[in-house]
C-alpha cells in the first residue's frame, strides 16, 4: 500500500538531492541551465518513485536499484559534456537512492 506521507517525503528528499547535485555540478564548471533542470526533475522523480515503490526487495536494494534506474536517462544527456560527468550523475543517483531509503525507512519509519 502506498502511503502519501512516504511519497511526499520521498519527493521532497529527491528535490533536495537534486539541488545538491546541481550545486556540485556547478562548482568546477558552468553547466547549461537545461542540464540543471534535467537533473532536478530526475532526482524529484527518483524520490517520488522510491516513495511510491512497493518492491519487496529490502530497503538497501530498493534504493540502489531505483536510484540507478531513475538516473540512467541522464547518462546520454551528460555524456555529451563529459563521460566522467555522465558516470558521476548515475553514481550519485545510486548513493542518493540509498540515502533516501535510509531516511524514509530507517529514520522516519514510513
- The predicted pLDDT at position 81 comes to 77
Domain tally, the chain: 1
Mean pLDDT of all residues in 33-58:
90
- The predicted pLDDT at position 74 comes to 85
106 has a pLDDT exceeding 80: yes
| Residue span of the structural domain in which 16 resides | 4-107
Nearest Cα to Cα of residue 14 among 45, 37, 36: 45
Cell for 15? Answer: 528535490
Q: Are 78 and 86 in contact (CB under 8 A)?
A: yes
Q: Are 104 and 50 in contact (CB under 8 A)?
A: yes
What is the overall mean pLDDT for the chain? 88
Mean pLDDT of all residues in 31-43:
85
Amino acid at each position: 500500500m502506498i502511503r502519501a506521507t512516504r511519497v511526499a517525503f520521498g519527493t521532497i528528499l529527491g528535490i533536495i538531492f537534486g539541488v545538491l547535485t546541481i550545486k556540485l555540478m556547478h562548482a568546477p564548471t558552468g553547466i547549461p541551465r537545461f542540464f540543471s533542470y534535467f537533473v532536478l526533475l530526475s532526482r524529484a522523480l527518483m524520490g517520488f518513485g522510491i516513495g511510491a515503490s512497493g518492491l519487496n526487495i529490502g530497503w538497501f536494494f530498493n534504493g540502489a536499484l531505483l536510484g540507478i534506474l531513475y538516473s540512467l536517462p541522464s547518462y546520454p544527456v551528460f555524456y555529451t559534456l563529459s563521460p566522467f560527468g555522465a558516470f558521476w550523475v548515475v553514481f550519485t543517483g545510486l548513493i542518493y537512492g540509498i540515502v533516501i531509503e535510509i531516511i524514509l525507512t530507517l529514520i522516519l519509519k514510513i
